[in-house]
Amino acid sequence: MAGSPRARRKSCANILVFAILSLSVLSLAGCSVFGTQAAATPSIQLKVFPATASVKPGQTQQFTVSVSGISNASVTWSTTGGSVSPGGIYTAPTQAGSYVVTATSTVDTTVSASAAVTVSAAVSISISPASASIYVNGTQQFAASVAGSSNTAVTWSAGGGSVSSSGLYTAPNTAGTFTVTATSVADNSTSVSATVTVNAAPVVTVTLSPTSASLLTNGTQQFTASVSGSSNTAVTWSASGGSISSSGLYTAPSAAGNYTVKATSSADSTKSASATVTVSAPVQHTVTLSWTASSSSVSGYDVYRGTVSGGPYTQINTALEAATNYVDNTVESGTTYFYVVTAVNSSAIQSAYSNQVTAVVPTP
């Protein structure tokens, strides 16, 4: 009979076979059959560290990833700009901008996590001059120019000597090669240096020309000074007697004697040179003339003098000379004179010029 217990058991057995094949749980007419249920997909979670980063063009950043919800923690890395290694080392591109680094689960490619990367423009510095050569304790002004940042400030440092906050370098008192460095305040990993060669101070020397002079009282002499070993060639002048101008023009005193003219370096006051000046009183030269008396009756004689042989001549006596000689005390040292004489009778009639005589006045 269809409703008998036996018939019901057989029907249940048939259902059991079907249930096993379908791997599911069925419940029919009070008969329950258990099969095998498929496992649910695990919940995978990823997190990238650091979540944000800021780098310069070409610089690198290590990223790591935390994986939960699954034992297989492998990921693949990718980026929207630059490159990233399988180990998560990111290399920034040369172009500044905002980029994304992403880690994606290899088990479930729909699961990923990302980090934001800001690539900022590289800061660069130039220095001027790039090199300098100065003497010990000398100074040199440096200037720095910053690009790639609105903050153009720099800090200065020196490998020898000192440098001010404005870039004014002062060399040490020893010779050598040193560096002056400007470091960006915006990026203290960026700096630039200049090389400074510090030389020993040159020896300053002063020479005078002439080194000696002979003058008459109140006479003048131009001196010149030469300075070597310094770009400052100025000198100060002094004299132990008489006076000297700032240009080296010396005026002898009114008293005879030996005096010194001195030129002192303005660059180094310990360096000087001197010249000796011998000042003499002027020698009063005279020329004495004598002649043979005229055979005619005369009232006296006139004396004439010229500086060119044969004249013209100029009368130098103020009254007729009754004698046959005359002393000329108005001559100058180093000059040659030419003299003639005329006879004058009582009617004031002059004779022709006598023969010419020459007088050479020595120096002094």
pLDDT tens figures, 127-186? 999 999 999 999 999 999 999 888 999 999 999 999 999 999 999 999 999 999 999 998
The pLDDT of residue 196: 98
Higher pLDDT, 206 or 19: 206
Q: Which fold has domain 287-360?
A: Immunoglobulin-like (2.60.40)
Q: Take residue 209 and report the two structure tokens written for it.
A: 């020309």
What is the mean predicted confidence (pLDDT) over 316-331?
96
pLDDT given for residue 94 in this prediction? 87
For 113-123, the pLDDT digits (tens) are 999 999 988 88
Instruction: Assign 40 a pLDDT band (cuts: 50, 70, 90).
Output: low
Question: In angstroms, rounded to a whole number, what is the distance separating the alpha carbons of residues 169 and 160?
Answer: 10
In which residue ranges of the chain is CATH 2.60.40.10 found? Answer: 124-199, 205-280, 287-360
In this predicted model, which residue has the larger pLDDT, 76 or 42?
76
6 Cβ contact list (under 8 Å, min separation 6)? none
- What pLDDT, on a 0 to 100 scale, did the predictor assign at position 139? 96
Q: Measured between alpha carbons, how far is 210 from 230 in angstroms, rounded to an integer?
A: 22
Q: pLDDT tier at 36 (50, 70, 90 boundaries)? A: very low
* HSE toward the beta carbon, residue 29, CA cutoff 13 A: 10
41 vs 288 pLDDT, higher one: 288
Q: Does the pLDDT value for residue 106 go beyond 70? A: yes
Between CA 98 and CA 113 the distance in angstroms is 17
Closest CA to 63 of 105, 110, 100: 100
What Cα–Cα distance (Å) separates residue 261 from each residue in 212, 227, 238, 300?
9, 16, 6, 54
Residue 37 scores a pLDDT above 70: no
Q: pLDDT exceeding 70 applies to what percent of the chain?
A: 89
Q: What average pLDDT does range 289-295 have in this prediction?
A: 95
CATH of domain 124-199: 2.60.40.10
Q: Which fold has domain 205-280?
A: Immunoglobulin-like (2.60.40)
Q: Is 90 exceeded by the pLDDT of residue 300?
A: yes
Contact of 170 with 156, CB cutoff 8 Å: no
Burial level of 26, CB count in 10 A (0-12/13-18/19+)?
A: middle
* Percent of the residues in the chain that have a pLDDT greater than 90, as a whole number: 79
Report whether 300 contacts 322 (CB < 8 A): yes
* Over residues 177-196, mean pLDDT: 95
CA dist list (Å): 44 to 47, 59, 64, 69, 86: 10, 32, 16, 5, 20
- Residues 346-359 have pLDDT tens digits of 999 999 999 999 99
User: Token pair 């005589």 is at which residue?
Assistant: 357
Please check whether residue 281 is in contact with residue 217, taking contact to mean a CB–CB distance below 8 angstroms. Answer: yes
Confidence of residue 240 (pLDDT cuts 50, 70, 90): very high
Are the C-beta atoms of residues 113 and 46 closer than 8 Å to each other? yes
Compute the chain's Rg from CA coordinates. 59
Write out the two tokens for 6. 């036996």
DSSP state of 324: S
Report the mean per-residue pLDDT for the chain. 89
Among 73-87, 111-125, 334-348, the range scoring the smallest mean pLDDT is 111-125
- Mean per-residue pLDDT, 176-201: 95
Cβ neighbours for 175, distance < 8 A, ≥ 6 positions apart = 136, 198, 199, 200
- pLDDT class for 41, splitting at 50, 70, 90? low
Specify the fold of 45-119. Immunoglobulin-like (2.60.40)
Going by C-beta distance under 8 Å and a sequence separation of 6 or more, which residues neighbour residue 57? 92, 93, 94, 95, 96, 119, 121, 122
- Predicted pLDDT of residue 142: 98
Summarize the confidence of residues 178-202 as an average pLDDT.
Answer: 94
Specify the 3-state DSSP secondary structure of 39.
Answer: coil
